[in-house]
Structure 1
Amino acid sequence: MSHNESFEDLFKVEETKKLRHLTPGQKITATIVSLGEETTFLDVGGKSEGVLNSSELKNEENQFTRSAGDTVDVYFLQSKGSEMLFTTSLGSGSSAAHLEEAFHGGIPVEGFVKAEIKGGFEITLGGNIRGFCPYSQMGLRRVDDAAGEYLETHMKFMISRFEEGGRNIVLSARAIQEAEREEMREKLKETLAEGQSVEGEISSIRDFGAFVDIGGVDGLIPISEIGWSRVENVNDYFTVGQKVKVIVKKLDWDNNRISLSYKETLANPWDSAVENFPEGSTHTGTVARLAQFGAFVTLAPGVDGLVHISKLGNGRRIHHPREVLEEGQNIDVKVEKIDLDERRISLVPADYVSPEGKEQKEKDEYRSYISKDRKKKSSNMGGFGALLQAKLSEKKKN
């Protein structure tokens, strides 16, 4: 140790080495140590202590939205003496110089959506600085009524272009939202599991199903997983923005595919099928679909049975069920057999008679006819004999 150095100097050097080194614009997660009316102190790791303007943690009623001990995402601005200055975003008091720092440092800025103009929106920054955000950069998804959705709202943006001393500023809200979703996605990867029940919001509807935002990622409810009955139009079941509860069917993080089921949150109609449709019972159903081999008949929502083509035609040979039935037609059917494990119900028309039964019926009808004919003949013979006997008796008397 030299004569010019003291233990105090060495201690300061050692402490300085322990200070966390940050670059302007770097994003970190800090812990709130204390909240003051003007200044909030942050624990930013190591021996470092950060300072944040308390107004950034207050709502419109000037009430704090966070408490001591909470974590908050902040961006490093600069070191001022022994203090490290942070921000959650550059606010309305920012100058063009501050906005240029935000551009180079990748720090979000807060803006007011003032007007809709050609190609996007005019955004007011720093009170009187004008910026432009294209439609495509306003959000993650296309919005039908963009003006109604965004006008006169405060939003956070990243500056994607800063030119001409601030006279040409291009913004992107989508960049921030994508970064936030990526963070949420990483958290979901740690907690989401197949078979889990989660809540989400319908984000878009397609012919093949509905996409659901489950908090950072979108999952798909295929049309086959919407309801227990056959679904023709997804719009009959969902609307964009609707809150839904779903079951996670399959997770494929590598390909960003999450399969969901809505119908598994609903009561399964097959659980009571044996009680509601016992073998031998008769019901009125609706022809749901015609196939080459038979007709599918809906007995209840989610419960279809099959009438095989061989049971149709009332004994007449047909080549396709459409010859005697049409979709949407009501038909009286009898449950011939039910297989709960395979979820199959075999049906026959209520007035169906099997070939064996038809043959037996014909035999019974023939026997009945013969029996009646013999009785008639016997009755006729009995009348003729009585007449003959009467004639003979009359002759004897004479």
Structure 2
Amino acid sequence: MSESENKDLLEALNSVKEVNVGDVVKGEVLAFDENKQVIVGIEGTGVEGVVPARELGVKADELEDKVSVGDMLDLVVISKIGSDKEGGSFLLSQRRLQARKVWDDIEKKFENGETITAPVTQVVKGGLVVDAGVRGFIPASMISDRYVEDLNQYKGQELKLQIVEIEPSENRLILSHKEAAKEEREAQRKEAMDKLTVGETVEGKVARLTNFGAFIDLGGVDGLVHVSEISYDHVNKPSDVLKVGQDVKVKVLDVDEEHGRISLSIKQTLPQPWDEVGEKIAEGDVLDGTVKRLTSFGAFVEVMPGVEGLVHISQISHKHIATPNEVLEPGQEVKVKVLSVDPAAHRLALSIKALQEKPAAEKSAPKKNNNNAKKVEIPEEETGFTLGDIIGDELKDQK
């Protein structure tokens, strides 16, 4: 062998790269072995390596459909198998190289405070598993800023995620959807509120119930129906008449964008009880009723859902009583006679004593002069009755 040939051989041998675990190399597909592995020639080394189907991210029976002889693959060296350099072989992986690139990308985003998006692939005890190119985990406490009862609703969803913790060497990636969920809900809330108009009737779903009312989901934003706006009939607890998940129609009473509050009414979407009074109640009718409230001047008796009439103290009993609660109590069932009815003014005058037998002998009460006139309680709310209606016979007694 000439000197020049020796020199060329020496240079060729020196140009052969040494292969180490962790190196990123290029491999040319040479063949497929009986173990469903790809045999590759590692570029610039003169040695071969094997790539199992799982390290290509494909099923063994699909290997030859996904890879062809002559293809050049980017690979990472996992380990060395064999002892001599010429006959030595290396275990290589394409999947782990791709994962390494994903980890590098995620680490950069973590350092820059950026978010990532990933689909939820699995619901497990304590949280959600996502595919971010590598396996990521969202603890249940980081899924939303509100309690989530059923995590299965997230399966298959693409979520915007913050990177909480990352450790590639341990394949550890902890993510959070809490802040993104809050932002999404705020955007939905603003969009939904912008569409609402005071006075309109919309459809919603009962989201949750409290002692003071019901929160209705209007599609991105919740509004409150106060317990007093649920029904024209008296409601002790919202749960007595409503159920979570129930579809309801509500009227928009107020939209406070500054504080994010929406006031709603269910009862104002229903027929007004007083609209039917003129057809159903007439002077002289005898009705069954329930004592709702007692005042110093009489008792308010409900005769239809949402319709109350006044039994003046002078119409409660033939006997003299100082206060209505001497003979009546809230919740008591009574029969009443209709003395007068004025649906337009929401006024219904009733009598209990008109249905009672009048005592055989009644002593007339002594007349009182104006100096000893009784104090009369004026109701704070609108009852539909005038001061004269409330004072009743007491004005006659003073003549």
Both proteins in one fold, TM over 0.5: yes
Equivalent residues in 2 for 1:262-301, closer than 5 Å? 262-301=266-305
Equivalent in the alignment of 1:209: 213
CA contact (8 A) 2:165 2:175 kept: no
> Unaligned 5+ residue runs, structure 2?
1-98, 365-399
CA contact (8 A) 1:112 1:152 kept: no
Partner-residue secondary structure (3-state), 2:116? coil
> Residue 249 of structure 1 aligns to which amino acid in structure 2?
L
Equivalent in the alignment of 1:79: none
Q: How big is the shift at 1:228?
A: 0.8
Q: How big is the shift at 1:189?
A: 4.2
Equivalent in the alignment of 2:238: 234
Q: How big is the shift at 1:354?
A: 12
Distance 2:109 2:248 in 1: 39
Q: How big is the shift at 1:350?
A: 5.5
Distance 1:111 1:269 in 2: 51
Change (3 A) 1:247 1:174: farther
CA contact (8 A) 1:116 1:151 kept: no
CA contact (8 A) 2:192 2:218 kept: no
Residue 158 in 1 paired to residue 167 in 2? no
Distance 1:171 1:266 in 2: 48
Q: How big is the shift at 1:268?
A: 1.5
Change (3 A) 1:149 1:279: farther
CA contact (8 A) 1:161 1:168 kept: no
Equivalent in the alignment of 1:138: 143
State percent identity of aligned pairs: 34
Distance 1:293 1:101 in 2: 78
Q: How big is the shift at 1:102?
A: 6.0
Equivalent in the alignment of 1:389: none
Residue 129 in 1 paired to residue 129 in 2? no
Q: How big is the shift at 1:337?
A: 2.7
Partner-residue secondary structure (3-state), 1:142? coil
CA contact (8 A) 2:317 2:352 kept: no
Distance 2:322 2:352 in 1: 15
CA contact (8 A) 2:291 2:301 kept: yes
> Residue 283 of structure 2 aligns to which amino acid in structure 1?
E
TM-score (norm 1): 0.57
Query: What do residues 340-371 of structure 1 show as CA deviations (whole Å, max 9, x unaligned)?
Result: 3442322111535899xx9799xxxxxxxxxx
Greater Cα shift, 193-202 or 108-117: 108-117
> Residue 343 of structure 1 aligns to which amino acid in structure 2?
H
Distance 1:272 1:142 in 2: 45
Distance 1:351 1:342 in 2: 23
Q: How big is the shift at 1:283?
A: 0.9
Query: What do residues 105-137 of structure 1 show as CA deviations (whole Å, max 9, x unaligned)?
Result: 3233222343223xxx252434761413233x3
Q: How big is the shift at 1:253?
A: 0.6
Distance 1:233 1:215 in 2: 25
Partner-residue secondary structure (3-state), 1:275? helix
Partner-residue secondary structure (3-state), 1:351? helix
Partner-residue secondary structure (3-state), 1:108? strand
Greater Cα shift, 226-235 or 125-134: 125-134
Distance 2:133 2:326 in 1: 75
CA contact (8 A) 1:111 1:126 kept: no
> Unaligned 5+ residue runs, structure 1?
1-91, 362-398
CA contact (8 A) 2:117 2:132 kept: no
Query: What do residues 173-231 of structure 1 show as CA deviations (whole Å, max 9, x unaligned)?
Result: 34333333333333334432111111122222111111112122211111111111111
Distance 2:279 2:363 in 1: 32
- 2:103 corresponds to which of 96, 99, 110: 96
Equivalent residues in 2 for 1:1-398, closer than 5 Å? 95-100=102-107, 103=110, 104-117=113-126, 121-126=127-132, 129-135=135-141, 137-139=142-144, 141-143=146-148, 146=149, 148-150=150-152, 153-155=155-157, 156-165=159-168, 167-319=171-323, 321-349=324-352, 351=354
Q: How big is the shift at 1:307?
A: 1.6
CA contact (8 A) 2:297 2:312 kept: yes
Distance 1:95 1:232 in 2: 58
Equivalent in the alignment of 2:395: none
CA contact (8 A) 1:96 1:129 kept: no
Distance 1:142 1:243 in 2: 22
Q: How big is the shift at 1:151?
A: 7.8
Change (3 A) 1:327 1:171: same
Change (3 A) 1:216 1:348: same
TM-score (norm 2): 0.57
Query: What do residues 154-182 of structure 1 show as CA deviations (whole Å, max 9, x unaligned)?
Result: 34241241322384433333433333333
Change (3 A) 1:295 1:258: same
CA contact (8 A) 1:225 1:262 kept: yes
Distance 1:239 1:98 in 2: 48
CA contact (8 A) 1:203 1:213 kept: yes
Q: Between Structure 1 and Structure 2, how many residues are aligned?
A: 260
Change (3 A) 1:97 1:114: farther
The two structures, once aligned, show a CA RMSD in angstroms of 3.4
Distance 1:344 1:97 in 2: 78
Distance 1:242 1:329 in 2: 32
Change (3 A) 1:122 1:186: closer
